[in-house]
Amino acid sequence: MLYHAGMTDQLSLIVLVVALATGLVASIVVTTYAQTRQPVFFRYFLTNILLFNLLILSGLVFRYLLMQLQSQQIQPYLFVLPGLLVIMSALKLGWLYAFTLMNTALPADIAPRALKGMLARAGTIIFILYVVTTWIGVSMQHAVTQQVAVIFLESLILVGAVVSTALLMLTALKLPKGSRRKSVLVFGAYHLGLMSIILVVLITGWLQPGPQRLAQLLANGGFLVLFNVFPLVWIRGFRPLQPISDSERFKSLGITKREREVISLIQEGKTNQEIADELFISVATVKDHNHNIFRKAEVRNRLELAKLFQKL
């Protein structure tokens, strides 16, 4: 976008500035709103916004450097481009990580440790494979190898985002009817639409390096504006999205009625023996309930459990 001359260059720059400004405003609003709402979800929501805007900026730099290389104005860029691609791949994987945990945390404001660990390990493996493939392609001057690596990563990111959003929609359908369910459904539907737009963009080749028409520049800038404006509209339109209640967490985590009773007694500071006496069950059964509760809630002890659930 930066290499176009005249009116196109000015217009693309204006669109970019407006788009990034909306991203800054969205980040401030999300940060402010998160102080009294779902802290886990909004933390990943904010990370998602920041990484996406950073990806756009790095993509613009890559396009500019590529055009300079193609015009043979600055040959040293030949060695910079692969490094920038690696940085962009890390940003994309980081965005998918935050995007998936954001969708997971929205219904109940919980991001399971097991899921975070699995995503981190998978992302590390994919990143290493991508770096190795890119290095082989550059060292052997094999453009096809580099293109295959890029296409594979882009497809993987898109598929991962679609699957994550689809799972969010399925979870939302299980929530009780009301403002929370509606807000989660709108959130998921918007991101499914967003992924569809990205898929169309990839198919039409609008993301391919090279000169762009004015309509394409406006469409790309408008896409970023749309992405950044949604958090503002969604938060303002769905203010009923209040802090998660214990009952909602119980349901989302699959905690049974008996386990809820055990949690309530744990919050009162009762020992296993006292819980067993009050519920007329054995201590061994209480320990089994504790184990199941800790596993479902992804906590390691009673202290973490007390922090997770509010006092009933």
Provide the whole-model pTM: 0.71
Per the structure, how many domains does the chain have? 2
**pLDDT (0 to 100) of residue 121:** 92
**pLDDT (0 to 100) of residue 164:** 92
* Residue 265, token pair as written in the block: 């007694």
161-214 pLDDT tens trace: 999 999 999 888 877 777 778 888 889 998 888 888 777 766 665 445 444 555
Cα–Cα distances in Å, from 8 out to 207, 214, 225? 18, 6, 18
Q: Which of 218, 243, 268 is the last residue of a domain?
A: 243
% the chain with pLDDT above 90: 7
> Do 207 and 268 share a structural domain?
no
State the Cα angle at 247 between 264 and 164, rounded to 5°: 125
Q: Which of 243, 266, 293 is the last residue of a domain?
A: 243
Q: How confident is the model at residue 5 (pLDDT cuts 50, 70, 90)?
A: very low
> Do 135 and 48 share a structural domain?
yes
> Do 200 and 293 share a structural domain?
no
Q: What is the mean pLDDT of residues 52-77?
A: 68
> Do 230 and 273 share a structural domain?
no
- Residue 223: exposed, middle, or buried by beta-carbon count in 10 A (0-12, 13-18, 19+)? middle
* Residue 29, token pair as written in the block: 């609003």
- 247-256 contacts, C-beta under 8 A, 24 or more apart: 248/107, 248/108, 248/175, 248/180, 249/108, 249/109, 249/110, 249/308, 249/309, 251/175, 252/107, 252/108, 252/110, 252/171, 253/108, 253/110, 253/296, 253/297, 254/296, 255/293, 255/296, 255/297
Q: Which of 243, 261, 296 is the last residue of a domain?
A: 243
| Residue 265 CA from chain centroid, whole number | 36
- Is residue 266 within 8 Å of residue 275, measured between CB atoms? yes
Element (H, E) at 163: helix 143-173
Could you give the maximum distance between any two Cα atoms of the chain, in Å? 82
**pLDDT (0 to 100) of residue 245:** 62
More confident residue, 66 or 90: 90
**Measured distance CA(81)–CA(101) in Å, rounded:** 30
Cα–Cα distances in Å, from 5 out to 15, 63, 216? 15, 15, 15
* Number of residues that this document lists for the chain: 312
On average, the pLDDT of the chain sits at: 76
In this predicted structure, the answer to whether residue 62 has a pLDDT above a threshold of 80 is: no
Domain assignment of residue 212, yes or no: yes
Q: Report the range of poorest mean pLDDT among 22-26, 49-53, 116-120.
A: 22-26
Domain assignment of residue 57, yes or no: yes
In this predicted structure, the answer to whether residue 30 has a pLDDT above a threshold of 90 is: no
**pLDDT (0 to 100) of residue 46:** 85
* CATH at 267: 1.10.10.10
In this predicted structure, the answer to whether residue 215 has a pLDDT above a threshold of 60 is: no
* CATH at 35: 1.20.1070
- Is residue 27 within 8 Å of residue 20, measured between CB atoms? no
Cα–Cα distances in Å, from 279 out to 178, 258, 272, 295? 33, 9, 11, 21
**Measured distance CA(72)–CA(310) in Å, rounded:** 63
Domain assignment of residue 1, yes or no: no
Phi-psi region of 177 (alpha: psi -120 to 50; beta: other; left: phi over 0): beta
> Do 201 and 293 share a structural domain?
no
> Do 180 and 266 share a structural domain?
no
* Nearest-10 crossing angle of helices 214-237, 6-34: 20
Provide, for the chain, the percentages of residues in helix, strand and coil under a 3-state DSSP scheme, each rounded to the nearest 5: 80, 0, 20
Domain assignment of residue 89, yes or no: yes
**Measured distance CA(221)–CA(9) in Å, rounded:** 13
242-293 pLDDT tens trace: 556 666 667 767 788 888 888 888 888 888 888 888 888 888 998 898 888 8
> Do 259 and 236 share a structural domain?
no
96-145 pLDDT tens trace: 999 999 998 887 777 777 788 889 999 999 999 888 887 887 777 666 77
Give the domain extent around 236.
Answer: 6-243
* Residue 192, token pair as written in the block: 């499914």
